[in-house]
C-alpha cells in the first residue's frame, strides 16, 4: 500500500506546527523522518495513522491492502505501550481479539510473530520481567501480528541504550529482508535514519516543512556502521539540521 | 605541609525506605495490653477508667458460649456486606462514567463533592422514613457512606490510567468497549482497590451508627446497651470485635490485591 501526504498543515491554536507537507511513501520502502525536537514529526506520524486530524491537507492511502491484513496502519510506540497486566502472548493477542478469528487462527498468528521476533521462549513472561529491548521486540511482534500494510514507528529505539539499539536495528533489517514492509520511521537519531531509510525526509524546525528528501540506494543488509557513503550521508543530514537544532534548543516553550 | 592520612568516606545514604518488620505490630499490642492489665490489677488505673483486659476476654468467651456472639455478629456482617456491596458497585460504575464521559464529569463531580462531607449519620432519620426502620435504612446508610469515597477513588484511578495505552488501543482499531474493559478498568484497579480500604472502613463506622439507632441485634446494639449500663467489659468486648472486623477486612483487601495485581513489580 502506498501513502500520499498532500499539502498537510497543522496548527494548535495560534502555533503553526506543520506547514505544507507533501510526501509519498512507496510500497515496500522505509521512509525515515528526521528533524530537530519539536518540529512536529511525531504529530505528522499521528496524522498519517489517523490519531490526529490535520488543520489542512490530507493523507491518502492508495493501492491494495495485503489480503489478511487486520489493521492497515499500525503504530510502534517509543514507550512500547504494553499492558503490564498481560503476558507477552496476551499483549499480542489483545490486538487480535476484536477480529473475527477463531482461537486456532489467533494462536497461530501469535506463535508465528513470536517466532519471527525470537520471543517464543518468553510467551508467558510479564512486561516487567523484560528488558527494554525485549519489550520493544514484543511491541514489534504485536504490530506484525495484524499484518499491517504500513508500520508507523514513532522513535521506536529512543528509549533503549546504544547496544540494544544496534541489535534491534539488525532485527528490523532482518525482518524487512525476509518480508519487505512499508514503514514511516520517525527518529531524531541520524545513524538510525541512514541505516534503515530508503528515503530520509529532513523537516525544518517549527513550523515543520520538508527541507530535503534524501534517497539511499544501498540495500539495507549491506549497510554497515563504517560505510563511507552512509557516513557522508549522515554528515550531510547533520549539516542540514545543525543550525535548526541549535535554534530549536534555545527556543522558549510558550514564548 | 603534610597531607592528612586517608580516611574512609563516611556513609551518607540509606534510610527513607520503609522495611518490613515482622512481629513489631503484635508486640505493641501485647505490651499495651500487659501494661493495662498490670495497671488495673495494681490499682493505678481505676476500674472506671478502663476495664481489665482479662475480664474483657472472659466476657468475649462468655458471649461466644452463650451463642449471643453469632446472634450479634451475623446480622452486622450481613448489613456490612449488603450495604457496602451496593455502595461500592454503584460507586465504581459512577466513577468510571465520570472518568470516561465529560458530561458525567461536569454533572456529577459537584454533586459528589456536595454529598461527600455530609455526615451520613445525620441522614438516618430521613432514611428511616424513606426505607423503613428495618434493614432497608441500614443498607441505604452504609451504601451512601461507601458510595462517595468509592466514586472519588475510581475516577481518580481512571484519570491516572496511562493514556499512551489507550492511544495504543485506538491505533490497533480496538472497539470502544474493549478499550474500557481491557485497558481502562485493569489500569484503574490498583486505585479502586486502595479506595476500597477507605470505603469499607467508613462502612464499618456507619454500620455501628446505624445499629445504635434501632436494632435489636448487631455489634452496635450490643455496644450501645453495654454503654448505657456502664458495663465497660462488654463495651470493650464490642470494640474488640469491631477492631478485629477492621483488621479482617484490611487483610481480605490485601489478599485481593495480591491475587489481582501480580503484574505490579
A8 Cβ contact list (under 8 Å, min separation 6): A18, A20, A21, A22, A44, A47, A54, A56, A57, A58, A59
Q: Residue A23, Cβ neighbours under 10 Å: how many? A: 19
Please tell me the distance in Å from B72's CA to the nearest CA on chain A.
Answer: 41
Q: List C-alpha distances in Å: B41 to A24, B54, B190.
A: 92, 10, 47
User: Where are the extended beta strands (E) located within B42-191?
Assistant: none
The reported pTM is 0.83
Q: How far apart are CA A46 and CA A152, in angstroms?
A: 8
Q: How far apart are CA B133 and CA B29, in angstroms?
A: 38
Query: What percent of chain B is predicted at pLDDT more than 70?
Result: 99
Interface pTM, i.e. ipTM: 0.87
Mean pLDDT, rounded, for A113-138:
91
Residues of B in contact with A73 (CB under 8 A): 171
- Of A197, A145, A140, A188, the C-alpha closest to A167 is A140
Please tell me the distance in Å from A46's CA to the nearest CA on chain B.
Answer: 9
A60-105: per-residue pLDDT in tens?
888 788 788 888 899 999 999 999 999 999 999 999 998 888 899 9
Q: Which of B167, B187, B263 sits opposite A51 (nearest CB)?
A: B167
Question: Do B127 and B137 contact (CB within 8 A), yes or no?
Answer: yes
A7-44: per-residue pLDDT in tens?
888 888 888 888 888 898 888 899 999 988 777 888 89
Q: Do B164 and A77 touch (CB under 8 A)?
A: yes
Q: Which residue of B has its CA nearest to A148?
A: B172
- B72: phi then psi, degrees, rounded to nearest 5: -90, -40
Q: Which of B170, B175, B263 sits opposite A85 (nearest CB)?
A: B263
A2 in helix, strand or coil? strand
CATH number assigned to the domain covering A2-65+149-254 = 3.40.50.300
B107-162: per-residue pLDDT in tens?
999 999 999 899 888 888 888 899 888 888 999 999 999 999 999 999 999 999 99
Domain chopping of chain A, boundaries? 2-65+149-254, 82-148
Please tell me the distance in Å from B192's CA to the nearest CA on chain A.
Answer: 16
B152 Cβ contact list (under 8 Å, min separation 6): B95, B112, B116, B195
Q: How far apart are CA B104 and CA B82, in angstroms?
A: 26
A43-65: per-residue pLDDT in tens?
899 999 988 888 888 888 887 88
Joined grid coordinates for residue A229: 557513503
Q: Which residue of B has its CA nearest to A87?
A: B263
B14-55: per-residue pLDDT in tens?
888 888 888 898 899 899 999 999 999 998 988 888 899 999
A128 touches chain B (CB under 8 A): yes
Helix ranges (H only) for chain A are 41-48, 88-94, 103-116, 132-145, 162-178, 190-196, 228-249
Joined grid coordinates for residue A145: 501480528
Q: A2-12 and A56-62: which strand pairing?
A: antiparallel
Amino acid at each position: 500500500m502506498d501513502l500520499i501526504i498532500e499539502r498537510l498543515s497543522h496548527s494548535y491554536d495560534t502555533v503553526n506546527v506543520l506547514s505544507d507537507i507533501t510526501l509519498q511513501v512507496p510500497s515496500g520502502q522505509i521512509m525515515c523522518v528526521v528533524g530537530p525536537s519539536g518540529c512536529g514529526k511525531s504529530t505528522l506520524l499521528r496524522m498519517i495513522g489517523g490519531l490526529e486530524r490535520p488543520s489542512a491537507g490530507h493523507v491518502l492511502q492508495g493501492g491494495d491492502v495485503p489480503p489478511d491484513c487486520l489493521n492497515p496502519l499500525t503504530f510502534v510506540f517509543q514507550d512500547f505501550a504494553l499492558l503490564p497486566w498481560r503476558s507477552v502472548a496476551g499483549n499480542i493477542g489483545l490486538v487480535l481479539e476484536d477480529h473475527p478469528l477463531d482461537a486456532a487462527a489467533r494462536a497461530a498468528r501469535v506463535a508465528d510473530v513470536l517466532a519471527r521476533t525470537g520471543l517464543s521462549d518468553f510467551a508467558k513472561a510479564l512486561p516487567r520481567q523484560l528488558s527494554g529491548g525485549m519489550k520493544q521486540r514484543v511491541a514489534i511482534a504485536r504490530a506484525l501480528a495484524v499484518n499491517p500494510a504500513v508500520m508507523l514507528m514513532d522513535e521506536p529505539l529512543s528509549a533503549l541504550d546504544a547496544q540494544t539499539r544496534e541489535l534491534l536495528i539488525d532485527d528490523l533489517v532482518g525482518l524487512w529482508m525476509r518480508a519487505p514492509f512499508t514503514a514511516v520511521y520517525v527518529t531524531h537519531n541520524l545513524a538510525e535514519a541512514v541505516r534503515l531509510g530508503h528515503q530520509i525526509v529532513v523537516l525544518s524546525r517549527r513550523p515543520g516543512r520538508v527541507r530535503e528528501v534524501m534517497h539511499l540506494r544501498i540495500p539495507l543488509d549491506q549497510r554497515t556502521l563504517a560505510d563511507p557513503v552512509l557516513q557522508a550521508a549522515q554528515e550531510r543530514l547533520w549539516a542540514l539540521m545543525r543550525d535548526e537544532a541549535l535554534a530549536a534548543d534555545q527556543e522558549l516553550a510558550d514564548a | 605541609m603534610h597531607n592528612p592520612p586517608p580516611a574512609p568516606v563516611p556513609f551518607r545514604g540509606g534510610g527513607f525506605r520503609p522495611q518490613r518488620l515482622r512481629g513489631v505490630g503484635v508486640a505493641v499490642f501485647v505490651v499495651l495490653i500487659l501494661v493495662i492489665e498490670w495497671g488495673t490489677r495494681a490499682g493505678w488505673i481505676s476500674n472506671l477508667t478502663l476495664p481489665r483486659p482479662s475480664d474483657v476476654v472472659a466476657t468475649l468467651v462468655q458471649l461466644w458460649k452463650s451463642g449471643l456472639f453469632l446472634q450479634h455478629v451475623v446480622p452486622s456482617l450481613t448489613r456490612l456486606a449488603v450495604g457496602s456491596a451496593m455502595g461500592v458497585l454503584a460507586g465504581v460504575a459512577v466513577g468510571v462514567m465520570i472518568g470516561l464521559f465529560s458530561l458525567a464529569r461536569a454533572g456529577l463531580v459537584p454533586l459528589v463533592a456536595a454529598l461527600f462531607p455530609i455526615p451520613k449519620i445525620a441522614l438516618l432519620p430521613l432514611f428511616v422514613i424513606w426505607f423503613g426502620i428495618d434493614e432497608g435504612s441500614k443498607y441505604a446508610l452504609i451504601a451512601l457512606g461507601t458510595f462517595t469515597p468509592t466514586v472519588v477513588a475510581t475516577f481518580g484511578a481512571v484519570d491516572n490510567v496511562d493514556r499512551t495505552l489507550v492511544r495504543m488501543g485506538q491505533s490497533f482499531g480496538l472497539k470502544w468497549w474493549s478499550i474500557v474493559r481491557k485497558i481502562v478498568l485493569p489500569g484503574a484497579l490498583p486505585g479502586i482497590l486502595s479506595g476500597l480500604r477507605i470505603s469499607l472502613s467508613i462502612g464499618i463506622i456507619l454500620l455501628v451508627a446505624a445499629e445504635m439507632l434501632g436494632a435489636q441485634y448487631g455489634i452496635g446494639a450490643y455496644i450501645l446497651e453495654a454503654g448505657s449500663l456502664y458495663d465497660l467489659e462488654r463495651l470493650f468486648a464490642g470494640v474488640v470485635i469491631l477492631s478485629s472486623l477492621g483488621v479482617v477486612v484490611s487483610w481480605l483487601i490485601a489478599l485481593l490485591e495480591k491475587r489481582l495485581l501480580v503484574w505490579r513489580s
